[in-house]
Structure 1
């Protein structure tokens, strides 16, 4: 996919470090598209497991390929280096599976991790899952929530409308054992209507991913990269800058969000971060502390004396990351830089 950033594993230089599915993936990649009949002897779950291993395999050095092939069949010579990727996996599967089936399998690989449908649902954000389930019948929701882990089910119930959630709880209390064909139908619906859409919509724009990387640079490195990028591609630089969430953007937090953040950040980190903050942001933090806590913090900051810019940058980056983590849990809301639109990180 054009513009898509792909993170690959480090080059594999030891066959002993590979799992069984990864070894199978190496063999099938080395054999290539001319020997796809081997795939036909595998069941769907095995194909899925090997495909997942193949898609994330990365570069495997030639000596490792040779070791694995020699192990697989005596007398095979060096096969050369191979590369496992989403694109290579998709191309290989297309040679013996229908395009629709390949698309569904690849979307599932790119989607939430997990061997079974219920494992995958357990890795879906509770708000996202609740937004889908609130349009289903309460009995269906009761079945789904009875199959996922209790701690995840509790978070999903909390995110559902209260009356609907209570109806689902009542159905769960009265629920009889679910027939296999009904369970299969619910799994199929979730796979076709929810997981496939989730995999498609979760593919992130490359500018969004790069903005997240830039957020983790120190101030000088960030400035250097943005300036250099502006000279080569001003449009991309502006898009990245608009997507970045930086320390000064914390000024957009509402009072409740500020107080939640202050409770989550260690006091020494807060003092360091505020040493490099604007007067406006600094006063916003002080105004959300008690008078005594604000006085203690001011005294602590004064007693620090001169501090290194690098330490201030690190503290501010830590605070931004804490804010993003709180936002991901739904405890605070972060406002984006694009005007009145709100973004959840």
Structure 2
């Protein structure tokens, strides 16, 4: 391999390439001090150049050594510039998120860090932005956000838009990396300027994860909308959607497992918004002492905010889904009960 490299004609390096090579060669401490003086665009260009340098033979390193005599690592006989080394170079001085942002440009792939950053914005901000976008763009963004953030943004959009977005997520073809890069760039410019393909089943799970964070009324709107256009997908989705009210459909053993792990405080809060049927399904699953405590609290005249009640109900519903994912309970209802 070394012979092949030595036989290749040595291409003269331009100024930016020499800077990139020098920074790759010097110590981490030295390069980190230099990199802090570059702006974001200069870092992008530097990383791109560094990733394309290839193998730099000893004679060229010697020339660079003469030009950048101080701080060069003396033991290196040759140097390789590729995406891995470019990323390591940036990591010497930049936060992980900034490195990922720059390297996503270098590698031409989607940036997972960007989507996590987007999810930290107020959901109203995301929703207001999406309200001005085309349906295809809304579906791409909602599909890339984590479930909780996607659900919060989706809840702010009109019912018709929510239904259409879910329909697109269930039926749309995979989005190419090129399109994702364009969407990411637009979102970055518009929202931060101042501041692999799923199967139909995978898409259903993804959409269910979003829907499971919505209120019951919003869930029903989406499912009824899908009933008209995609009845098969709507039926599939219903098997993955679970709300606090669905606890009555669980078998007795499953309910006991759930409420054995649920916080008493959250159970009390969740049951304040429950009807008699739901309370009757939950209370027998509690220990005698806990049940007395819960019943005493429910008999009081305290009226918590509806948002807090819904939050507690969603928390317990999420607990049910986690236990089901772990195989500890079955969402199939009475069929799982062995009593």
Q: What is the TM-score when the length of structure 1 is the normalising length?
A: 0.39
Higher Rg: 2
Q: What is the TM-score when the length of structure 2 is the normalising length?
A: 0.39
